[in-house]
Amino acid sequence: MPLAVTKGVDVKVVIVGGVAGGMSAATRLRRLNEDAQIVVFERGAHVSFANCGLPYYAGGVIGEREALLLQTPDSLAARFELDVRVRTEVTSIDPDARTVTVRDLVTGVEAVETYDELVLSPGASPIVPDLPGVDRALVLRDVEDVDRLVAALESTARSAVIVGAGFIGIELAENLRRRDLDVTVVELADQVLAPLDPEMAAPVADELRSNGVRIELGTQVASIGTDDVTLTDGRVLPADVVVMAIGVRPESALAVAAGIETGPRGGIAVDEKMRTSAEHVYAVGDAVEKLDAISGQPGLVPLANPANRQGRLVADVISGLPVRPRPVVGTAIVGVFSLMAAAVGWNEKRLRAAGRSYRAIHTHPQSHAGYYPGAQGMSLKLLVDPDTDAILGAQGVGGDGVDKRIDVIATAMVGGITASELADLELAYAPQFGSAKDPVNMLGYIADNLRVGTAATIQWHELDAAGAVLVDVRTPSEFAAGTIPGAVNIELDALRSRAAELPSGEIVVTCQVGQRGHTAARILRQLGCDVRNLDGGYRTWLAGRAHADLLV
């Protein structure tokens, strides 16, 4: 017996917009109710496509355009009996009459369509600033956009300027280098990949530069010429192709015109069941404001996973099923040539700006047991609430295994597992896959040490102001290869016998990545010294200083 829908088996559900949110809602509705009438209006030419794969098709990694097209109106009609109408734009909504006005973009003919329940999934649109010559700039949001980009690349293009160093901008930079273009990324901020903190983003910038990508930070494009761009500082860069990848804004104009409320960030306001301020009107995906798991406040999180989840959730709500709404933690990852860069939750910059107290933990583990061939290094950062031990966010940069660790931490955040409890997770281990103490476990051990007071740390950006004696406990050869200015070298294994050489007052110990420093701090603490360990060691300090030096 089919599950009942709120308005009965003959309910008519109209969905505005396809792709992640809209099509998840449509197909889930059909699986719940074989008799419902489901109509999907999509303004573009394609209702279901892999938008996350667009940069990789532009770069030739995905060889066939058809691989991007997941479903068509015909295939959706055959399998799910959906009435999908592409190149059809919904121009207005009348919530009182429960109708939408639609325009066929091919013929120009307008019609009025009734609904019992309406789901808005209009997505988000690329931000394109008003600049001289901006009409020549391309964007990358749908299949038609990538068709225009590929056509431009297959002409005589030799150079490209990408405006914006976020996820899409970085993916495009990598893929256009695959086509042997001279690529420059222009970013107004002082770092690439804003979800990362500066010391975590520095290796990403290094990876881009080592693969021939030029990065211009702290500046922006002032105008676009026929084959170049001019920056605000007057410099001119060659640019046969210009792509705007600054970000996106929610497509909320249709809802606003219908009197539907929006939130503080301009997205459509919805409750925990995806209901808007208008009765029988729901909204999902990039157009809506989602509840942030850290702040408990609404925000914009234009990611595929939350959009798909919301599409399913709204179908369950319409069908009268119980739902489990959850705030979003914002898990994201990007490939950067041989690196991965991933993040979840809030970063340190955001926590500091919001006035939130936090602890930061940096580690530099290997992807699996070091004695097994092929281990790759990574850098992890965990941010913890010092009062509750709650995980506030995490970042990872490196080779294999970064995705796995960030996914575990994201799962822990959703499950309410504290930072210290990461030490208790039983994770899969064999030498080729991990370590007996997984990098996630190690973050938990450090968090627990800080929580109970058996460790005290100082951050790389706090070191200059600390005024403490800095003791480098690495070997003399490591020390000679590079150290923090002003440090004295007392190797860890000689620390007990040479402790009397240390002056009174605060001491900061450092090593390569923080592990030997922790042991040194424990020795000195028990000898009566006032000591802190440099979190993440010389490697974290070096990455932070590398970022700072770029800004000088």
SS3 316: helix
Tell which residue, 139, 163, 182, has the closest CA to residue 222.
163
In whole angstroms, what is the distance from residue 407 CA to residue 426 CA? 15
Q: Classify burial at 89, counting beta carbons within 10 Å of its beta carbon; exposed 0-12, middle 13-18, buried 19 or more.
A: middle
- Residue 120's identity, in one-letter code, is L
Tell which residue, 318, 274, 307, 280, has the closest CA to residue 33.
318
- Residue 258's identity, in one-letter code, is A
- Residue 471's identity, in one-letter code, is V
In whole angstroms, what is the distance from residue 291 CA to residue 328 CA? 6
Burial 276-294 (b: 16+ CB within 10 A, else e): bbbebbbbbbbbbbbbbbb
Q: What separation in angstroms does the CA of 157 have from each of 53, 434, 439, 541?
A: 22, 44, 44, 40
Beta-carbon-side half-sphere exposure of residue 514 (alpha carbons within 13 Å): 29
**H or E stretch covering 291:** strand 290-291
Q: What separation in angstroms does the CA of 486 have from each of 463, 483, 525, 542?
A: 11, 8, 22, 14
The count of other CB atoms within 10 Å of the CB of residue 523 is: 17
Furthest-apart CA pair in the chain: how many Å?
Answer: 89
Is 52 considered catalytic here?
no
The sheet carrying 221-224 orders its strands as 221-224, 228-231, 236-238
Measured torsion, CA atoms of residues 531, 536, 542, 544, in degrees rounded to the nearest 10: -100
In whole angstroms, what is the distance from residue 114 CA to residue 93 CA? 10
As separate numbers, helices (DSSP H) first and strands (DSSP E) second, the chain gives 16, 31
Please provide the DSSP assignment of 218-281 as one string.
S--EEEE-SSEEEETTS-EEE-SEEEE-S-EEE--HHHHHTT--B-TTSSBP--TT-B-SSTTE
Task: Label each residue of 335-390 as H, E or C.
Answer: EECCEEEEEEECCHHHHHHCCCCCEEEEECCECCCCCCCCCCEEEEEEEECCCCCC
State the catalytic residue, choosing from 221, 511, 513, 524.
Answer: 511
User: Which ranges of 134-248 would DSSP assign to H, the alpha helix?
Assistant: 143-153, 167-178, 198-210
Active site residues: 511
